[in-house]
Amino acid sequence: KSDLKFSKHAELRVQSRNINLSGAQVNKIKQAVEKAQEKGVKDSLILIDSVALVVNIKNKTVVTVANKNDLKENIFTNIDGAVIV
């Protein structure tokens, strides 16, 4: 299994939005990525607890991250699937 990676943009979002993902949450995100990959999804919105991540499934790379305060009236584009964990 390849590890989940965070783009520079996603890392900045995690820091600026004070998002803390536990090891258990990261493992659930990895499982969600695998499920999306099995279904042929290319870019997925993954929702876990109060955090939303846009993930490039092929590269297993988190492109951006937002918490529930940042999600109000947000529109997610360039995704072809969603996984709710």
Question: Which pLDDT score is estimated for 2?
Answer: 59
In DSSP terms, 67 is beta-bridged to 51
Is the confidence at residue 77, as pLDDT, over 80? yes
Q: Any idea of the CA torsion for 64, 68, 36, 21, to the nearest 10 degrees?
A: 70
Does residue 55 have a pLDDT over 70?
Answer: yes
For 5-26, write each residue's pLDDT tens digit. Answer: 999 999 999 999 999 999 999 9
CA dihedral 82, 75, 28, 16 (to 10 degrees): 160
